[in-house]
Amino acid sequence: MPHEISLLAEAQRQFLICSACRYCEGYCATFPAIEGRTEFTAADVGYIANLCHDCRACSQACMYGEPHEFAVNIPKLLGAVRLETYHAGDSGRATLVAGAGALVVLLAALALAGRWDAVEHPQPGAGAFYAVVPYLWMLVPALVLAGWGIFVLGRAATKLVRDVAPNDRPAARDWFGALNDGLALVYLRGGGDGCYYPAQDAPSSARRLFHIVLVLGVGLAFAATLAAAFIQEALKLLPPYSLLSVPVVLGTLGGACMLAGGIGLLVLKVHPVARAGAAPEMTKLDVAFLVTLLVVAATGLLLLAFRDTTAMGWLLAVHLAAVAALFVTAPYGKFLHVPLRLAALLVFRIEESRRPPSG
């Protein structure tokens, strides 16, 4: 509690300085949201923190940053607030434990079911994956974990909107505007030139580009899953499917994009400049999340490449364990930034649409 109080007090102090200065007003949504308030509740500070995309353009331009006595550093402050909303703590360790635990549980289940022979000597052909791990054993845990994750993430996003804008009902244009701002990563442009890392004194669009590629990869992988479900349930054809089939093409492109975007972001996140401007806990959280995504993508591509070999059974087990680890940790790790940021962008759109025109 004392830490939360000190963060709130420091936010009040720095926000009032920003409201008086307004030099960074046009950089992103963070500063109009600050300037529209004279007092800040804990909910307001959390909302503003999740509007920030950590481009660090304001820190680069700020005339009141260290060594000035005001010591304003909005990205660092809001990063600390976001850590509170993510419940970061030991999230990096939790991801590793979840991954190992998911693998152990899966392998134990296979042993109990007497399927070791299928794992070690998988047979190619229709339904080969299900000969190793039965269909319902894949489907039911995935639905349960996904359902729980959606519930937790949705509850967090809903709470942010209700706490900050309890009496406002978003219009359709607010929803579409927030979704566009989030998917297009409008505020990762750093006021137009890009983020100020990996080079502290030169803007770069690399982070936004890698982020877009990663999100595209996740979207393609999800589309591949939907396409495979349609082929299996509607056309009654069991996987694995041909290399030129829709699920395989989408999954391959998705995995490649996830690897390219994830590796690019990982390199940026561990760069000394990036780490210097972020709390160590946030860096651990970012790295744990990216590594989990990369393991999911890499094991999926390896499974595709070696699905007709004796390695298929083990690769399937490892891939399913990686997916389970991602699902287990999603509601409690860095993946929280997705619904929270979209919720914050929605509140900002609501506020902007209600704001009287200047002049």
200 with 53, same domain: the answer is: no
Residue 139 lies in a domain: yes
The DSSP-derived string for 49-104 is HHH-----HHHHH-TTSTTSTT---HHHHHHHHHHHHHT-TTHHHHHHHHHHHHHH
Per-residue pLDDT tens over the stretch 35-83: 988 889 999 999 999 999 988 888 888 999 988 999 999 999 999 999 8
My answer on whether 120 and 97 are in the same domain is yes
| Residues 217 and 317 placed together within one structural domain of the fold | yes
pLDDT beyond 60 at 259: yes
Cβ 3 vs Cβ 89: under 8 Å:
no
Residue 358 lies in a domain: no
In this prediction, residue 269 has a pLDDT band, given cuts at 50, 70 and 90, of confident
Q: Are 47 and 97 members of one domain?
A: no
Going from the C-alpha of 285 to that of each of 18, 26, 79, the distances in angstroms are 28, 29, 12
Kindly tell me if the per-residue pLDDT of 126 is higher than 80: no
If asked whether residues 53 and 115 sit together in one domain, one would say no
pLDDT at residue 7, as a whole number:
87
| Residue 114: predicted pLDDT | 54
**Looking at 85, 117, 135, which one is the last position of a domain?**
85
Domain contains 123:
yes
What is the pLDDT averaged over residues 175-196?
87
Pair 146, 29 in one domain = no
Indicate the range of 141-145, 238-242, 348-352 predicted with least confidence: 141-145
Asked if 256 and 317 sit in the same domain, the reply is yes
Residue that is last in its domain, among 65, 85, 105: 85
Of residues 39 and 245, more confidently modeled: 245
Q: Which regions of the chain does DSSP assign to beta strands (E)?
A: none
d(CA 263, CA 268): 9
Whether 321 contacts 96, CB under 8 Å: no
Question: Could you tell me if 200 and 70 lie in one domain?
Answer: no
Tell whether 103 and 12 lie within a shared domain: no
User: Where is 23: in which H helix or E strand?
Assistant: none
Say what the pLDDT of residue 113 is: 56
Q: Is residue 356 in some structural domain?
A: no
Give CA angle at 215 (25, 334), nearest 5°. 75
> What is the reported pLDDT for 100?
56
Q: Give the model's pLDDT for residue 2.
A: 46
Q: Among 11-25, 255-269, 344-358, which is the least confidently predicted range? A: 344-358
- Domain end among 85, 107, 124: 85
In the chain, the number of structural domains is: 2
35 and 121 co-located in one domain: no
- Mean of the per-residue pLDDT values for the chain? 85
Q: Per-residue pLDDT for 333 more than 90?
A: no
Whether residue 204 is found in the same domain as residue 307: yes
Report the first-to-last Cα separation within the chain, whole angstroms.
Answer: 42
Q: Is the pLDDT of residue 26 over 80?
A: yes
Domain enclosing residue 40, as ranges: 2-85
DSSP string, 308-330: TSTTHHHHHHHHHHHHHHHHHHG
Does residue 20 carry a pLDDT above 70?
A: yes
Judge whether 357 lies within some domain: no
pLDDT on residue 209: 93
In the predicted structure, residue 178 carries a pLDDT above the cut 90:
yes
73 lies in the same domain as 178: no
Residue of higher predicted confidence among 353 and 155? 155
